[in-house]
Amino acid sequence: MLFQFDEIPSTQDVLKDYYRDKTAVFGDAVTAEAQTHGRGRYGHHFHSPKGRGIYLSILLPYRDIDRLTIRTAALVMKVIEDVAGVAVKVKWVNDLLLHGRKIAGILAEAVVDDAGRPGAVIVGVGINLTEPPGGYPEDIRDRAGALLSPTEQNAMPVQAVTQLKKSLTAALLEKLQEMGATEESAEEFALYRARLINPSEVPPGALDAICLPGAPASSGPDR
């Protein structure tokens, strides 16, 4: 089931509540047009202005958080390339960049069951589709970006931007549900390795411990 909202504090928190009161089951998702308290790793704020991005969370069976984060990053990069024709890069461990600016983030959080054991994972994905009027807040202006530049957005009919958002959201939800029901593959980790822009910043041994070996993936076009 898909729970859709206009504006909520956080898709992660709403889905966490739905899991705890047994409203949601594996594969269910929450989307919002805006988040007032969207967040990333370590509680960092994720700017989520209304109508300017894709903000969603999905409930999946419990998996290793680090590996699931990397699988999700690879999945989101693949969906963006397939739907929008753009190859974005990844900055360890969960930031997706285009032209050196962050356009998307991923958050995987474990939630406990009634017995106090990890029972599920909520995976959140936030994508900046277009820049807000007046640009981003001062504290993130030098590093935040959007999938569509202002020039590209202005050149596209409003209906085309809306359709792109719908197509990306539908593809993300479909692929995330598939990910929750399938085992990890070498191709996912190979894509992550191929798009990683800051290997020197990865903790020693972390990449080899998490990423399975695989043939390098095609990097595709990059605007």
Q: Are 4 and 28 in contact (CB under 8 A)?
A: no
Q: Which residue has the tokens 């017995």?
A: 115
Find the range with the poorest average confidence among 14-28, 170-184, 195-209. Answer: 195-209
Phi, psi angles (nearest 5°) of residue 166: -65, -45
Q: How many CB atoms lie within 10 A of CB 175?
A: 16
Average pLDDT over the chain, rounded to an integer = 91
Instruction: Let me know if 127 is exposed, middle or buried by CB neighbors in 10 A (0-12, 13-18, 19+).
Output: buried
Assess if residue 177 is contained within a domain.
yes
Q: What is the pLDDT of residue 211?
A: 67
Asked whether residue 33 is assigned to any structural domain, the reply reads yes
CATH of the domain at 169: 3.30.930.10
- Choose the weakest-confidence range: 106-120, 142-156, 157-171: 106-120
In the prediction, which pLDDT does 218 show?
37
* Percent of residues, the chain, with pLDDT higher than 90: 78
pLDDT of residue 209: 67
In a domain, 36, yes or no: yes
Residue 115's pLDDT is what? 84
Specify if 136 maps to a domain. Answer: yes
Query: Which range of residues forms the domain containing residue 95?
Result: 2-210
Q: Residue 91 pairs with which residues in a beta bridge?
A: 95
Fill in the amino acid letter for 38: G
What average pLDDT does this structure show over 201-221? 60
Strand partners, 111: 120
Mean pLDDT of 141-148: 96
Total domains, the chain: 1
> Is the pLDDT confidence value at 222 over 60?
no
- Evaluate whether residue 223 is within a structural domain: no
CB 90 within 8 A of CB 70: no
* Mean pLDDT of the 108-121 span: 90
Average pLDDT estimate for 60-70:
94
pLDDT band at 42 (very low <50, low <70, confident <90, very high): low
Could you tell me if residue 130 is inside a domain?
A: yes
In a domain, 215, yes or no: no
Is 70 within the bounds of a domain? yes
* Banded model confidence at residue 84, pLDDT cuts 50, 70, 90: very high
